[in-house]
Structure 1
Amino acid sequence: MATKNRFSSAPQTRLGSWLGIAALIVLIDQLTKITITKLFTYGESLPVTSFFNLVLAHNKGAAFSFLATESGWQRYFFTGLGVAAALFIVYLLKRNAGQRLFCWALALILGGAVGNVIDRILYGYVIDFLDIHVAGWHWPAFNVADSTICVGAILFVLDELRRVNK
């Protein structure tokens, strides 16, 4: 599973491992979205705790429903952007497969991006269902893919900070 990097003595993880992590994220993301669409009607909400609901929402825009009210061009734009990002991430994973934290970040972002691209292609919108609200403040609904993108972005920043400190 691991090969030696010819420039160091540290083992190098193969590209397939990182793609496998991304594929697992896509699978979990799509299964949760299928489940929520089978159990809920559009707009239906189920309080789970005092600060968390499950809700079936459709996001035609990007993060936080950015551009959701536009005429429809955003579907193709964000689909293309997601595909381009996924291809670039695969390239980065292949070139840097031995950098664990960096590749974890990329694999999480890749899985989330592909999960949301699948929604845009199949439905024309992204299915969101996780709804958090605290003290009158309401976060826009999101999904597993969005969560992994955010965690990946945090890991990416941590990896960069680690590099700067070296």
Structure 2
Amino acid sequence: MSLRKAYLLIFILLLVDQVSKIYIKTNFILGEEVEVFKWFKILFIENEGMAWGVQIPGIYGKLFLTLFRIAAVGGIGYWLWDSVKKKSSDYLIVAISLILVGAFGNIIDSVFYGVIFDDSQQQLATLFSDQPYGTWFHGKVVDMFYFPFWHGNLPSWLPIWGGKEFTFFNAIFNVADMAISTGVGILIFFNKKAFHHKTA
């Protein structure tokens, strides 16, 4: 795969990621939910930390996370350029492109959303608001896709979780998260093909 095609893939997915997030921010109140199917819902939440809602404690935790993501994108971008230059497999180039899209998509939220949107609590957010909810590098990542395939009480004979209420699949995510997960999945499940070098 050429670098041009990789950039096109990145651009298209990044556009879809940002359009979907901006639509949710400006049309949903925080916590609002729309049921598409029993097993698929659009649920607007905001994530202040890393994946799965993990947060880095302290005043500078969010800033550190955002700067780390920016540095990671630089490294992943170089990895993509180097892989194309070395004529690596399409599996690897697509996987790196997807991971780059995901990281960059969530960086945009973290860097800019705090200063271009107002609060989503009890109101629809306004794009380019005069009263933004945060500051540079302290924006919240928008998540919306929720797939609760099964919800109920687990059998009492199960250790630890027995008899407790449980939802599968409980994560809420966005297009950028899906891109990262898919890219990592390609590297794991197609490892031999991904790291197989083409011969000249």
Given the two structures, how large is their TM-score scaled by the length of structure 2?
0.70
Inter-CA distance 165–145: structure 2 relative to 1 (3 Å threshold): closer
Q: Is the aligned partner of 1:139 residue 2:170?
A: yes
Asked whether the 8 Å contact 2:91–2:193 carries over to 1, the reply is no
Question: 2:133 aligns to what?
Answer: none
Inter-CA distance 117–164: structure 2 relative to 1 (3 Å threshold): closer
Query: 90, 97, 105: which is aligned to 2:95?
Result: 105
Q: Which runs of 5+ in 1 are unaligned?
A: 1-12
Q: How far does the alpha carbon of each residue in 1:20-48 deviate from its partner, in whole angstroms, 9 at most, with x for none?
A: 21122111100000111122111111111
Q: How far does the alpha carbon of each residue in 1:116-142 deviate from its partner, in whole angstroms, 9 at most, with x for none?
A: 000001231100011121322151211
Counterpart of 1:103, as a letter, is: I
If you compute each CA radius of gyration, which structure gives the higher value, 1 or 2? 2
Asked whether the 8 Å contact 1:60–1:74 carries over to 2, the reply is no
In structure 2, how many angstroms separate the alpha carbons of the residues matched to 1:72 and 1:54?
A: 31
Question: 1:162 aligns to what?
Answer: 193
Query: What percent identity do the matched residue pairs reach?
Result: 27
Q: Which runs of 5+ in 2 are unaligned?
A: 115-138, 152-166
Asked whether the 8 Å contact 2:148–2:170 carries over to 1, the reply is yes
In structure 2, how many angstroms separate the alpha carbons of the residues matched to 1:34 and 1:125?
A: 12
Runs of 4+ deviating beyond 4 Å: 163-166
- Structure having the higher helix fraction is 1
The alignment of Structure 1 onto Structure 2 pairs a total of residues equal to 153
Given the two structures, how large is their TM-score scaled by the length of structure 1?
0.83
144-153 vs 156-165, which deviates more?
156-165
Inter-CA distance 160–43: structure 2 relative to 1 (3 Å threshold): same
Inter-CA distance 164–89: structure 2 relative to 1 (3 Å threshold): closer
Inter-CA distance 47–163: structure 2 relative to 1 (3 Å threshold): closer
| RMSD (CA atoms) | 2.1
Query: 35, 42, 60: which is aligned to 1:47?
Result: 35
In structure 1, how many angstroms separate the alpha carbons of the residues matched to 2:170 and 2:106?
A: 19
Q: Is the aligned partner of 1:127 residue 2:142?
A: yes
Query: 105, 114, 119: which is aligned to 1:115?
Result: 105
Shift of 1:77: 2.2
Counterpart of 2:191, as a letter, is: E
Asked whether the 8 Å contact 1:55–1:131 carries over to 2, the reply is yes
In structure 2, how many angstroms separate the alpha carbons of the residues matched to 1:108 and 1:163?
A: 13
In structure 1, how many angstroms separate the alpha carbons of the residues matched to 2:59 and 2:21?
A: 22
